[in-house]
Amino acid sequence: MQTSDYQRLDRAHHLHPFTDFKALGEEGSRIIERGKGVYIIDSEGNRILDGMAGLWCVNLGYGREELVEAATAQMRQLPYYNNFFKTTHPPAVKLAETLCRLAPPHINRVFFTGSGSEANDTVLRMVRRYWALKGQPEKQWVIGRENAYHGSTVAGLSLGGMAPMHEQGGPLVPKIAHVRQPYWFGEGRFGEGRSEGQDPEAFGRECAAALEAKILELGEENVAAFIAEPVQGAGGAIIPPASYWPAVKEVLAKYDILLVADEVICGFGRLGEWFGSVHYGLEPDLMPIAKGLSSGYLPIGGVLVGDRVADTLIEEGGEFFHGFTYSGHPTCAAVAQRNLELMEAEGVVERVRDDLGPYLAQRWQALAKHPLVGEARSLGLIGALELIDPANGERFDESLAVGNLCRDLCFASGLVMRSVGDTMIISPPLVITHAEIDGLVGKARAALDATLARLADTTTDQQEETLA
């Protein structure tokens, strides 16, 4: 089949996630056929550096035969069985032990799901169940952050704070509130009435104070948990000021509120530690996980449950009426187990912390000098570029969709870099090399140059039309 054949069938039968169906049908899909290392290859033979590791998940890169072999061996022995009705199987047991060994010391239980969205659905059920068992059933409110992403199921989108999703989501799950995000560049530097911007550390404390204010507004006796990613991923690779998490920890401890650290993106080495919570010195009560758990080779997720919550569920809870057909799926669990074994054996997390993360930070920061870039930030192997109008240093008008333009030009230069509004973000495989980081930065620079040239052409055309 040719590319056009795949596009025709795709247009006729396939509804893509997070997609304008009509617009994609008119343009035609990119057809990705193969992957190797940090590269994907499309149906036209173009080799593209995957700066997003799929969707933040292909941590060990493409083409790892060890993971294929793990899946094959498990499918031959026991392709599927459930974990309901007092049964289990070796892959689920082994993976549970491995995860709890890698997790912070106060976490010794895991509940398996099929995805990060399912993990956050589980979190909501567990949080409310926990407080009911503690004799405080009125503690049902969960506080999330504006512009946060915690999945696209009804519970996931309710916990998240993305306005476009809420507008399409119909009635949301009740008793979920949101507070401001610790996004200094967007809300501290360019905040309302701030011509010169606010000190980042003061801004971080201000965001934590907003959380406390919301708790008091709702009534501390009614608030069950606060959910947040250590670093906001899909919201725009938002790295909080250093003051933010220590201040948040103080607020949660003051009012006895559970902390849910969503590790779906930050977990499994992305920030240079096994979990983002370790980087920030957090001790979360629940940690949703997915994505890098299997390097994206098979779908699997879960919730790592702290002793405080797990002991209550076990000792006082009776039956927990929740679960999924594919919770702890044996083939998915076997692949995840092998993935974690390889990451440990190859020292992947330590290399991100000690070598690749610092090297990316150095090379990425050089892009801050580009006329289109207002800020270049990174932590571990996650990074962002904030696009600004070089004429005035301000944000572009949203109608120009400059981020989308840059994203498309990235593909043309052989790089997958995602746009969140006018924020360009990367999250490459954790096995990327120095040379490949150099290539990524070079391709990003080429896309920025092409974007700047395209904007200049557009401005010239508009001026000529005005004169005519």
The pLDDT assigned to 189 comes to: 84
Rounded-to-integer distance, Cα 468 and Cα 168, Å? 43
What span, in angstroms and rounded, lies between the C-alpha atoms of 40 and 116? Answer: 24
- pLDDT: which is higher, 458 or 325: 325
pTM: 0.95
pLDDT at 466: 54
* Position 425 pLDDT exceeds 60: yes
Contact 100, 109 (CB under 8 A): yes
Predicted confidence (pLDDT) at residue 110 exceeds the cutoff of 80: yes
List pLDDT tens digits, range 359-370. Answer: 999 999 999 999
Locus of tokens 């606010």:
198
- Which pLDDT score, from 0 to 100, does residue 296 have? 98
- Provide the strand spans (E) within 246-350: 258-261, 286-289, 301-306
Computed over every residue of the chain, the mean pLDDT equals 95
How many Cβ atoms from other residues are within 10 Å of residue 386's Cβ? 23
Strands of the sheet with 223-228, listed across from one edge: 107-113, 301-306, 286-289, 258-261, 223-228, 141-145, 176-179
| C-alpha closest to that of 110 among 83, 134, 136, 135 | 83
Helix ranges restricted to H, 134-243: 154-159, 163-168, 200-218
Integer CA distances (angstroms), 461 to 276, 388, 409, 464, in order: 47, 20, 20, 5
DSSP for residue 397: P
Please write the tens of the pLDDT for every residue from 206-258: 999 999 999 999 999 999 999 999 999 999 999 999 999 999 999 999 999 99
Q: 257 phi and psi, to 5 degrees?
A: -120, 135
User: What's residue 462's pLDDT?
Assistant: 58
Phi/psi at 74 (nearest 5 deg)?
A: -70, -40
| Residue 55: exposure state from Cβ atoms within 10 A (0-12, 13-18, ≥19) | middle
**What pLDDT shows up at residue 461?**
59
Amino acid 195: pLDDT: 45
Judged against a pLDDT cut of 60, whether residue 82 lies above it is answered with yes
What are the tens digits of pLDDT across the range 117-133?
999 999 999 999 999 99
Tell me the mean pLDDT in the region 438-453: 98
Residue ranges of E strands in 127-201:
141-145, 176-179
Residue 468 above 80 pLDDT?
A: no
pLDDT tens for residues 254-274? Answer: 999 999 999 999 999 999 999
Instruction: Tell whether the model's pLDDT for residue 441 goes beyond 90.
Output: yes
Whether the predicted pLDDT of 200 surpasses 90: yes
Position 170 scores a pLDDT of: 82
C-alpha–C-alpha distance, residues 24 and 12, integer Å: 11
- At 465 the pLDDT is 58
How confident is the model over 3-16, as pLDDT tens digits? 999 999 999 999 99
Q: Of 43-57, 85-99, 190-204, 273-287, give the lowest mean pLDDT range.
A: 190-204
Q: Which residue has the higher pLDDT, 462 or 372?
A: 372
Residue 194 clears pLDDT 80, i.e. is over it: no
pLDDT at 193 over 70: no
